[in-house]
Amino acid sequence: MTLKERAAIARGIKWVDEVVEGVPYNPTIEILNKLSCDFNAHGDDIAKDSNGEDSNIEIKKAGRMKIFKRTEGVSTTDIVGRLLQITQLSRDISEIDSKPMRSGQYINVLREAHRKASDESDEESKVRAVKFLATSRRLRQFSNSHEPKPGDKIVYVSGSFDIFHCGDVEFLQKAKEMGDFLLVGLYDDKICREVYGSNYPLLSLHERVLNVLACKYVDEVVIGAPWFITEDLVKSFNIQLIVDRDPEFQLPQPQYAKSDNFQLAREKGIYKQIVLDNKINIDTFIERIIDNRDKLLKKFEKASKKQDEYYTKHKEYVQEV
């Protein structure tokens, strides 16, 4: 992601008060003082500079460092690895070798190839192994405790929210502005595979739940929401408005392309579609991986080796703050 894209996500996180762009990788006492910050915070994995040294050593010596326990099993390295895994199938697709094509066309060929591959594979092979260790404590830390008040206009949106990005932040912000309480339905992994293809979702349901709950515009999440809007869903949560984004955002598999999962909402007159200024979606990241695969693969292999070394040799228990 670009700096602007990452900054937009950070501004949408409910624990963030201010975002300063373009700071150096190695924090300094001077920067902390300039920004009126008492401490520099980091996860319990050691951040090292280009020389392999602890990038926070100066701040640690000054007693202005706070170490927080990381969410177990979640890392940028793992996510990049999953994105790289998607493009691996290209080595077996003769069409890609026989003629030049743009990355968007490449994705269409990959989608079709993965669809055929998934038709021939069993269900067990479709399950992507993830390291994330979901606990009720972690979910509580991310969850909001408030409920809709009497008279609140409850707005509902649904989706996979795979690889949470600045387009998702804009969508959730605009949806929240249409009411008082924003309820987000997250499809489970099985529905995502059926609707979008066997390579999806890149993130597990629990990983996606934490991403969405971290957004300051979200009040509550339905974990494992139905693909089709149902009368029971609307009545159970007293939903007054159902909001959808541009239909071209993420195209479903052919068997789902003609199905209107918002039909009930349209019939009840509670459906509204919004067009976003930010057109980014998960295919945007896949295109970037395709265009820079060799470079990213080398970087991933190096980062993955360091991460494995941390988990096997250096990781220690850190008490929750």
| Residue pLDDT, tens place only, 226-252 | 999 999 999 999 999 999 987 656 666
Cβ atoms < 10 Å from Cβ of 290 = 21
Residue 293 has pLDDT above 50, yes or no: yes
| Residue pLDDT, tens place only, 22-78 | 998 888 999 999 999 999 998 877 777 777 788 888 999 999 999 887 776 777 777
pLDDT average, residue stretch 213-238: 96
CB 53, CB 61: distance < 8 Å: no
| Residue pLDDT, tens place only, 80-130 | 777 777 666 544 443 444 444 444 444 454 455 555 544 444 443 343 455
pLDDT at 315: 67
Asked if the bond preceding 24 is cis, omega within 30° of 0, the reply is no
Q: Kindly state the percentage of the chain with pLDDT values over 70.
A: 75
pLDDT at 77: 74
Residue 317 has pLDDT above 50, yes or no: yes
Dihedral sign, Cα of residue 158, residue 159, residue 165, residue 166: negative
pLDDT average, residue stretch 119-147: 68
For the chain, the average pLDDT equals 81
What are the Cα distances from residue 215, in Å, to 41, 211, 283, 314? 20, 7, 22, 32
- Pseudo-torsion of CA 147, 10, 71, 78, nearest 10°? 130
193 vs 128, more confident: 193
pLDDT at 82: 76
Residue 1 has pLDDT above 90, yes or no: no
